[in-house]
Structure 1
Amino acid sequence: MTLILTRSQIAALLRTPDLTGTVVTDAVEEAFAALADGTDRLSPAHGIREGDDLFLPMLAASTRLGLAGGKVLADLPGNALTGLPRQRSAITLISTETGACAALLDGALPTRVRTAAASAVATRHLARPDTRVLGLVGAGALAVEHTVLIAAERPIEEVVVWSRSFDRVASFRAELSTRAPDLKVTHADGPRSVIDAADVVCTLTPSREPIVRGSWLRPGQHLNVVGAPPRPDCREVDGVAMSRSRIVVDAMSTATADSGDLVLALAEGAVTTGDCADLGSVICGLAEGRTSPDEITLFDSTGLGLLDLAIGRVLVDAARRHGIGHAMELGA
């Protein structure tokens, strides 16, 4: 039987006690480590371009999780003109034991949570322990999840947030007041003000051009560069930011193909691939992460199908425990 989980059902699962705390972050950390040691594997991503639209398969296999498959992501810039989300996706989970379709999930919330969890894992391994101020460049759907999961990794006291949209900042405040009411929230007047104030910075914008300049960065900061779509011509930080940082990517194979932040910095000669390490290698002790309190570290997050398997496993197991979802026989 195939378990089908809708967006509202996934939202209900994410509110259950067994998915609070660091459960998702720990699952994502395990996936990064399994990728580094060869236990789990990625399929090369080969997107299909139709004009300015991108359709990207993000696939992986993990006998550890008992799953293969992943996500197909549609990145459609024109959707903004009709009020639809720019990115939409669906996750298909296949049993590695039988080849049967184990589950079908709407991709919106799993993507949001696993993306924030990846940043939380990077923060766990790269940010200074004395981090107190979290900075957010962008206040959209990813902002609250990043705040909640990163605050579980470091003693965050204040969140400094900027967005071009005042309404988005207001919505961020309102949601965070229920999810993390003890955190002070400050509305910054621009990206530079966020960088000036924060110990850890998350860039969460679908930018094509750099929105953060390397000349602004301060010793000891950690950046999670997250928001740009997986396209080699889109970036949130400039080459100077990359060159000043210890760069850690989610996987070199995807970063060198789909991360504009890295691809463009490489093309400019600001960095080389030898300047980069995989996050899984850092977790496993196979590569260095932060080497000094004053070093600037930067996690370049492109997104991996393996993380969709990891969050899918967590959600499917929770759904079965709670009796949530629709079971169907697709072969009937």
Structure 2
Amino acid sequence: MTLILTRSDIAALLADLRDDIEAAVEGCHRDLALGRAVLPPPPAMPLPGSDGTFLAMASASAPDGLAAVKLLADLPANRARGLPVQRSAVLAVSAETGACEALLDGAEVTRARTAAATAVATRALARRDARVLGLVGTGPLARAHARALLPGRPYERIVLWGRDPGRTGETAAWITEELGVEVSVLSGPRAVAEAADVLCTLTPSREPLIRGAWLSPGQHINAVGAPPRPDHREIDTEGVVRCRIVVDAYSTARAKSGEVLIPLAEGALREDDFRCELGEVLAGTKPGRTSDTELTLFDSVGVGLQDLAVARLLIDAAHARRSGTRIELGA
């Protein structure tokens, strides 16, 4: 039988799995570094006559016993329709038998694994005495990041900016009410960048919102929001070049990340400057932060192996709790 998990099914399950998601995402990156998982670069399929593109994000994991593919639709024209710009679904099959184990809506999976990867990277790369968390962007990804980054970490306050003042105020109030942390809404990206010890950029921006001149020694930056397109980025070239760069996966960043591809094309960056993967830092085969004054950057493009890791959690939890829908898809 094949398990079908809708967005509401997944949201209900994730509410009880928050402590497990970060561990699962950390484990999948370590598995990749140690050769226990496979993650090819995703092919992009631009739609002729449209600015839309589709990505097939495939992966396979021996420890998780799954092979999976997330089909991601990135459709900017949806914004005018009042629909999500990005939509996705995850298909997971047994690595042993090839049987289709599950089909999952991708929205909640993507949000949860993205925030978890940021939390893993921040724990590995940020200074231990970081006290101020900065969020540029106030959509659902900002809330997911606040929830993922705060537990067990000594942040004293959050500084926040978003384009929409109404939504910014709502997000600030939600963080204070739900997570009990003081939030200051600041005047713009520069103010957030200059105030934060850990800075997360969470917007679908095409042009840089953060300038390198605004960054301070010892900061850690998570560049998260830009879609996987080589002409989109949130951090300018000076900012990227000033940092020690860690990517989620080199092959994916080399194909899809404007954060590194634009400086590379400009001759300001070399490929060796962004070959360090998060899993290698976690496995101890490459160093992370090397001093308290070093600037570190986690370039988060998002990879299918993270989706697979969260899918494994959800499939197991759904079977244990008898949630979701089961259909006879094939023999």
**Normalised TM-score (structure 2):** 0.97
Once the 2 structures are TM-superposed, how far is the Cα of residue 141 of structure 1 from its aligned partner? 1.2
Per-residue CA distance 1:208-256 (angstroms, 9 max, x = gap): 1111001100011000000000000111111101110000000110001
User: Structure 2: how far apart are the matches of 1:264 and 1:279?
Assistant: 21
Which of 225, 229, 238 in structure 2 is aligned with 1:227? 225
Question: What amino acid is the match of 2:37?
Answer: D
Corresponding residue for residue 49 of structure 1: 46
Per-residue CA distance 1:106-135 (angstroms, 9 max, x = gap): 000000000000100100100001111100
RMSD: 1.1
User: Structure 1: how far apart are the matches of 2:87 and 2:108?
Assistant: 10
Does structure 1 conserve the Cα–Cα contact (< 8 Å) formed by 2:169 and 2:185?
no
SS of aligned partner of 1:231: coil
User: Structure 1: how far apart are the matches of 2:194 and 2:74?
Assistant: 32
User: Structure 2: how far apart are the matches of 1:217 and 1:207?
Assistant: 19
Which of 31, 35, 38 in structure 1 is aligned with 2:35? 38
Find runs of 4+ consecutive structure 1 residues off by over 3 angstroms.
Answer: none
User: Structure 2: how far apart are the matches of 1:290 and 1:153?
Assistant: 20
Once the 2 structures are TM-superposed, how far is the Cα of residue 299 of structure 1 from its aligned partner? 0.2
Q: Which moved more, 1:28-37 or 1:268-277?
A: 268-277
Q: How does 1:159-238 map to 2 (within 5 A)?
A: 159-180=158-179, 182-238=180-236
Once the 2 structures are TM-superposed, how far is the Cα of residue 331 of structure 1 from its aligned partner? 2.1
Question: What amino acid is the match of 1:98?
Answer: T
Once the 2 structures are TM-superposed, how far is the Cα of residue 103 of structure 1 from its aligned partner? 0.5
Would you say 1:69 and 2:31 are equivalent positions?
no
Does structure 2 conserve the Cα–Cα contact (< 8 Å) formed by 1:242 and 1:270?
no
Once the 2 structures are TM-superposed, how far is the Cα of residue 173 of structure 1 from its aligned partner? 2.7
User: Structure 2: how far apart are the matches of 1:153 and 1:129?
Assistant: 12
Once the 2 structures are TM-superposed, how far is the Cα of residue 154 of structure 1 from its aligned partner? 2.3
Once the 2 structures are TM-superposed, how far is the Cα of residue 139 of structure 1 from its aligned partner? 0.6
User: Structure 2: how far apart are the matches of 1:229 and 1:79?
Assistant: 14
User: Structure 2: how far apart are the matches of 1:142 and 1:20?
Assistant: 15
Once the 2 structures are TM-superposed, how far is the Cα of residue 152 of structure 1 from its aligned partner? 2.3
**Identity fraction in percent:** 55
User: Structure 1: how far apart are the matches of 2:68 and 2:112?
Assistant: 18
Question: What amino acid is the match of 2:5?
Answer: L
User: Structure 2: how far apart are the matches of 1:100 and 1:94?
Assistant: 5
Corresponding residue for residue 279 of structure 2: 280
Once the 2 structures are TM-superposed, how far is the Cα of residue 147 of structure 1 from its aligned partner? 1.0
Would you say 1:24 and 2:49 are equivalent positions?
no
Corresponding residue for residue 258 of structure 2: 260
CA spacing shift, 1:11–1:175, aligned 2, 3 Å: farther
Corresponding residue for residue 129 of structure 1: 128
Q: What 5-or-longer segments of structure 2 have no aligned partner?
A: none
Q: Which moved more, 1:38-47 or 1:292-301?
A: 38-47
Paired residues, number: 328
Q: Which moved more, 1:291-300 or 1:38-47?
A: 38-47
Would you say 1:112 and 2:134 are equivalent positions?
no
Q: What 5-or-longer segments of structure 1 have no aligned partner?
A: none
User: Structure 2: how far apart are the matches of 1:69 and 1:271?
Assistant: 33
